[in-house]
Amino acid sequence: MPSPTLESPAQVVVVDDEPAMLRYLRALLESEGHGVETAGSGFDALQRIKQGPKPDLILLDMLMPGLDGLQTLQQIRQLDSTLKVVMLSCVTDSRRVVQAIRLGAADYIAKPFGRDDLKGVFQAVLGNPSQRCSGEVIEDLGNGTFFVAASPVMHRLRAQAELVAKVDIPVLLLGETGTGKEVFAQLIHRASPRAAGPFLKVNCAAVPADLLESELFGYEPGAFTGATQMKPGKFELCNKGTILLDEIGEMSPALQAKLLHVLQDQQFSRLGGRSVIQTDVRVVAATNIDIAQAIASKTLREDLYYRLNGFSLRLPPLRERKADIGALLRHLMSSLAERCACPVLPITNAVLDACMNYPWPGNVRELENFLKRCLVLQEFSAPGPQHGQNGHDRARPGAGANRVPGGLKSLARSVRQESESQAILRALEETNWNRKQAALRLKISYKALLYKIREYQIEQLMTPIS
């Protein structure tokens, strides 16, 4: 049976202490053919739920005397965690909205609202497959970035991300490296009122500490040697948009203090400048560090953490959401094969089983690099490290059992060539595809490395996907 939407009948319980609001919602919903029951307090709502039958949706006012909306929501979730509850709230009350999301609200709608607003909420909560906790979802976020999920935990995290995106507060993304924190940052941006504005990313670990401040806030002529003209920083360029501060734990404590000031006052000054620049930027921060340990060791300011942690999403490692592996394999294989213009390798049951049984310590990023290596060699090998300290293959029992022959790589290619190409791939992966650093690591000349990259057709994969 199809899920109800605003166009198809649903049984709705409306909970509000204002009689005028109850009359308005009853008239609006009944005019669309829905069954409507009303409750004037949280206590009445709980009694109705205990008596049954189960409604399709509950519209629950946030601010009520006695048992308020949040307390009522908490008790509703204890009675039946599957009930869909939409909160009716004031748009400025972000703290309560965030708390409602944490308690499991399916959505919220700001007063005053009209029929179209209510229609959107009904569609999102009752009719949007992405809100369900099953099924495979592949969503194009633009710029080569995709959200791919099949596990219930990722569906729940996506639903939370879409809800918190509507509240203009900082978001902290936690999780191991390669779990998809940048993907979630882009998802939050696209679902927010700032979607039409810019989305910029700054990797705090990749930019030298003495340059990071100018990267974020810009500089004036004469601010330092070589500063001959004004340069705007990311916070200035990202006005009305969203900025992702990746690896926030790598930022120096002094710069953390300046960032805290920007978060509090939404203003800053360029390096060497005296004028104050007002900015309107939403900050999404990401880190894989142990927060408690970082605060204890003074590498992360505690006040900055609480300011960034308006809402946090902890992304589980791939080994804890193995239901996603099949979907990721199929999507990444198709995307990478199209980019390097080579045949798609068949993902057999043996390949899938091997990937499901491997722990993927590097998470989705390691899975992507594994598929790149397989496509370049045009055969599958068992996932995991392929070589030792010298960059040569390690003898691993049964490794050849999972190999699948392909068309581009000749089966007569020597073991030496295969080991060499794998060593080059690994060096490029470990240096984030920086060819000069990879050449130093391999102890060969830069020109020799470029020749080998062309020889093994590795240049087709030099720009990794997000």
Of 71, 94, 127, the position where a domain reaches its end is: 127
Mean pLDDT in residue range 8-33: 89
Task: Look at residue 3 and tell me if it is in a domain.
Answer: no
Q: Quote the pLDDT of residue 395.
A: 31
Of 256, 289, 316, the position where a domain reaches its end is: 316
pLDDT exceeding 90 applies to what percent of the chain?
50
Q: Distance between CA atoms of 37 and 29, rounded to whole angstroms?
A: 10
Please give the mean pLDDT across all residues of the chain.
Answer: 84
At 399, the pLDDT band (50, 70, 90 cuts) reads very low
Task: Look at residue 134 and tell me if it is in a domain.
Answer: no
Mean pLDDT in residue range 417-445: 79
Q: Quote the pLDDT of residue 134.
A: 53
At 461, the pLDDT band (50, 70, 90 cuts) reads low
On whether both 311 and 214 belong to a single domain, the answer is: yes
On whether both 76 and 221 belong to a single domain, the answer is: no
CATH number for 119: 3.40.50.2300
Task: Look at residue 133 and tell me if it is in a domain.
Answer: no
Q: Quote the pLDDT of residue 325.
A: 95
CATH number for 249: 3.40.50.300
On whether both 331 and 421 belong to a single domain, the answer is: yes
From 168-172, 335-339, 422-426, the region with the lowest mean pLDDT: 422-426
Residue 394 in this model has a pLDDT that exceeds 50: no
On whether both 365 and 379 belong to a single domain, the answer is: yes
On whether both 345 and 291 belong to a single domain, the answer is: no
Residue 181 in this model has a pLDDT that exceeds 80: yes
Question: 462 vs 404, which has greater pLDDT?
Answer: 462
From 3-12, 227-236, 376-385, the region with the lowest mean pLDDT: 3-12
How many structural domains does the chain have? Answer: 3
For the segment 99-128, what is each residue's pLDDT rounded down to a tens digit?
Answer: 898 898 988 888 888 888 888 888 778 764
How many residues does this entry show for the chain? 466
On whether both 347 and 245 belong to a single domain, the answer is: no
Q: 376 lies in which domain range? A: 321-461
Of 102, 127, 152, the position where a domain reaches its end is: 127
Q: Distance between CA atoms of 456 and 413, rounded to whole angstroms?
A: 11
On whether both 16 and 159 belong to a single domain, the answer is: no
On whether both 260 and 338 belong to a single domain, the answer is: no
Mean pLDDT in residue range 78-98: 85
Q: How far is C-alpha 264 from the geometric centre of its chain's CA atoms? A: 24
From 12-21, 129-138, 314-323, the region with the lowest mean pLDDT: 129-138
Residues paired with residue 87 on neighbouring β-strands, in sequence order: 60, 108
At 396, the pLDDT band (50, 70, 90 cuts) reads very low
Task: Look at residue 5 and tell me if it is in a domain.
Answer: no
Q: Distance between CA atoms of 462 and 434, rounded to whole angstroms?
A: 9
Q: Quote the pLDDT of residue 114.
A: 82
**Sheet architecture: strand order including 57-61:** 35-39, 11-15, 57-61, 85-90, 107-111
At 462, the pLDDT band (50, 70, 90 cuts) reads low
On whether both 280 and 200 belong to a single domain, the answer is: yes
On whether both 327 and 397 belong to a single domain, the answer is: yes
Residue 408 in this model has a pLDDT that exceeds 50: no
Task: Look at residue 237 and tell me if it is in a domain.
Answer: yes
- Which contacts qualify for 275-280: CB closer than 8 Å, 24 or more apart? 277/236, 279/235, 279/236, 279/238, 279/239, 280/239, 280/240
For the segment 22-44, what is each residue's pLDDT rounded down to a tens digit?
Answer: 999 999 888 888 899 999 999 99
Residue 409 in this model has a pLDDT that exceeds 70: no
On whether both 150 and 238 belong to a single domain, the answer is: yes
- Which contacts qualify for 342-350: CB closer than 8 Å, 24 or more apart? 342/375, 342/378, 342/406, 342/407, 342/408, 342/457, 342/460, 343/378, 343/406, 343/407, 343/408, 345/374, 345/375, 345/378, 345/379, 345/380, 345/404, 345/406, 346/404, 348/404, 350/401, 350/402
414 CB-near residues (< 8 Å, 6+ apart): none
Task: Look at residue 466 and tell me if it is in a domain.
Answer: no
Task: Look at residue 132 and tell me if it is in a domain.
Answer: no
On whether both 430 and 333 belong to a single domain, the answer is: yes
135: left (phi over 0), alpha (psi -120 to 50) or beta: left
